[in-house]
Structure 1
Amino acid sequence: MISARQLEVLSTVIEVGTTARAAQLLNVSQPAISNMIRHTEDAIGFALFKREHGRLTPTKEALHIAQEAQHLFMQQKRIDNIIGELKGGTMGRLSIVATPSIGHSILPRVLGLFMKTRPKLQLSIELGGVDEITRRLGSGRADLGLSITPPRLPAVYVRQIGDGQLMCICPPDHELALLDRISVTDLNHVNHISYAALTPLGQVIDNVFSDRGLERRFFCEVRHTATALEMVRSGLGVALVDSFALIGQQTTSIAIRPTKPVLPITMHGITSKLFPTSNLAMQFQDYLSAFLKNEGAPDLT
């Protein structure tokens, strides 16, 4: 068996390239590093480094072991974080990866409220699609994912956080702003800012048109809700955006109208089955869910 300390020494020597530098980083003597490497090689029965002209070159086997050891180090780091949470109650680290429409809008707002009673909490926020969310959760680099589109993989848990809907937004002086409710298919007759057919929101909107034997038309294609929102603010056209992105937004520069048919969407919380979900991640999911229930739809008055 190789101990965690031996794996740490192996990985450090590979990373920095010399036993002398590894000794400095690990605060031990250079002979101690060299002896541990030799002891590890004796224990496993094969060489981990090629020794040429005083330099150590890791073998393919050593590189493979070091790569696998990263999962152990990540798990050890997660355990340390959990211990810190249990010890301090409001201390710890929360790593979230969210889709851009959530990360650019509602997430900062809710985190600001959440951290008022947790001032020592450390945060890590990344933005990415569903594939990036599942990769980070699967490697232990994130505690919680937030997405409108749920991943369909067996390695994650998916929880419904809150319900919303797509809303039509347009400049206040636009002809559609005169209506109380916007027919989705009417967007074919105006400067429509919309999403690619392969994106989740694009597919939702396409279904409305295809059910009526129509093809969706738009003059500008965007990938993210935040981009569509800013383009409408600039007077470039009309767009459908998720109601989560509108919570807390200044609405003086845009008109917001519900659609017909109603296009419901759901925010999902995603956690890994491969790593234990931290207490902080569970707390934040509950907090976000309660916020969405109390906040509701954006004010249309």
Structure 2
Amino acid sequence: MIRVRQLEVLCAVIDLGTTSGAAEALSVSQPAVSNMIRHIEDIVGFPLFKREKGRLVPTPEALHIAQEAQHLFSQQKRVDRIINQLRGGTVGQLNVIATPSVGYSLLPRLITEFTRPRPRVQLSIEMGSVDEIIQRLISGRADLGFSITMPRHTALSVRPMATGRMVCLCPEGHELAHARSVNVLDLNHVRHISYGSGTPLGQMIDEVYRQEGLERRYFCEVRHTATALQMVAAGAGVALVDNFAMLSGPPPGTVMREVEPPLPVTLHGVTSNLFPTSHVAMQFQSFVREALSDPGQGSAME
């Protein structure tokens, strides 16, 4: 069987007409090229060249083989190009699932920036709870997850992407909107949208009240930051939301205020240990970490 390297030598000799010219082009010795041609002729069982006036003239059979070889070379270049694109994360499938506060605000902007130089990346984006993130990752239906709450499962790898904080979102004109910062304890005295004590965010806020010997009170319980954000935007009350949910700024008709004491939150990137993480998913995870470490990204990190 003729190998690709042998075909390269054959085509070089046909193109240049001499073994010395082919040797120089291929960065090998002239005897090596001559030996290769003889070896190819032994394999195929017929002559490939005639010598005329110091040049090697290919036979019709040699020209036919060389023509077919060009298709092989083109395919090889295409495969190499695809491998380089995959290595660079410019093609592939990226299946992402995120909690709503991340998925509705942060993710669209970052994915748009990531895919702009990678137009051949195929995307699938889902929103879900932490439990849904876990299930999609361990079943192989998602490559990468993002969540403020840390998913806990032995089959998952969880990496911190960025550190943020909880802020108080108020309707414009609300009494708390006039303050430079809002004490978390003051939320008990106004219409307050918050998270149940069974949720990680609710437990974090409960701890502030517990340390003061108080019980947290609120009129509306939600599970996701995104829901709280929409309730505030509708004028229903105030709420603590993670600042990742407002990368592009507060919704119209609302204002954002810092809270005391500070309530730090972490954005986590999650992958499955049960399936290989695609290169494009690893590229996007690194992109998110770098983008959110850049002060130029705006309100999410200021």
Q: How does the TM-score come out when normalised to structure 2?
A: 0.68
Q: Does 1:113 align with 2:113?
A: yes
Equivalent pairs counted in the alignment come to 219
Closer, same or farther in 2 for the Cα pair 1:155/1:177, shift >3 Å? same
Closer, same or farther in 2 for the Cα pair 1:126/1:85, shift >3 Å? farther
Moved more, 134-143 or 186-195: 134-143
Q: Which SS does the other structure have where 2:293 is aligned? A: helix
Tell me if structure 2 keeps the 8 A contact 1:193–1:237. yes
Q: Does 1:248 align with 2:248?
A: yes
How far apart are residue 272 of structure 1 and its match?
A: 0.9
Question: Which whole-Å CA distance do the structure 2 matches of 1:253 and 1:108 have between them?
Answer: 22
Matched with 1:213 is 213
Matched with 1:149 is 149
Name which one, 1 or 2, has greater alpha-carbon Rg. 2
Matched with 1:58 is none
How far apart are residue 249 of structure 1 and its match?
A: 3.3
Letter in 2 for 1:106: L
Question: Which whole-Å CA distance do the structure 2 matches of 1:281 and 1:141 have between them?
Answer: 13
Closer, same or farther in 2 for the Cα pair 1:88/1:290, shift >3 Å? closer
Pairing 1:112-191 to 2, within 5 Å after superposition: 112-191=112-191
Closer, same or farther in 2 for the Cα pair 1:282/1:298, shift >3 Å? closer
Question: Which whole-Å CA distance do the structure 2 matches of 1:239 and 1:173 have between them?
Answer: 15
How far apart are residue 288 of structure 1 and its match?
A: 0.9
Q: Any stretches of 5+ residues in structure 1 without a counterpart?
A: 1-81
Pairing 1:7-22 to 2, within 5 Å after superposition: none
Question: Which whole-Å CA distance do the structure 2 matches of 1:242 and 1:231 have between them?
Answer: 15
Question: Which whole-Å CA distance do the structure 1 matches of 2:181 and 2:157 have between them?
Answer: 36
How far apart are residue 298 of structure 1 and its match?
A: 4.6
Letter in 2 for 1:125: I
Tell me if structure 1 keeps the 8 A contact 2:89–2:280. no
Pairing 1:69-108 to 2, within 5 Å after superposition: 86=86, 89-108=89-108
Question: Which whole-Å CA distance do the structure 2 matches of 1:183 and 1:127 have between them?
Answer: 31
Matched with 2:238 is 238
Closer, same or farther in 2 for the Cα pair 1:186/1:89, shift >3 Å? closer
Question: Which whole-Å CA distance do the structure 2 matches of 1:222 and 1:83 have between them?
Answer: 46
* Deviations 1:196-220, CA, capped at 9 Å, x for gaps: 1112211111111111111110111
Question: Which whole-Å CA distance do the structure 1 matches of 2:216 and 2:89 have between them?
Answer: 51
Q: Which SS does the other structure have where 2:116 is aligned? A: helix
Letter in 2 for 1:193: I
How far apart are residue 86 of structure 1 and its match?
A: 2.5
Q: Which SS does the other structure have where 2:214 is aligned? A: coil
Moved more, 280-289 or 248-257: 248-257
Pairing 1:42-81 to 2, within 5 Å after superposition: none
Tell me if structure 2 keeps the 8 A contact 1:160–1:268. yes
How far apart are residue 116 of structure 1 and its match?
A: 0.8
RMSD over aligned Cα, in angstroms?
Answer: 2.0
Matched with 1:228 is 228
Question: Which whole-Å CA distance do the structure 1 matches of 2:268 and 2:89 have between them?
Answer: 26
Q: How does the TM-score come out when normalised to structure 1?
A: 0.69
Q: Which SS does the other structure have where 1:182 is aligned? A: strand
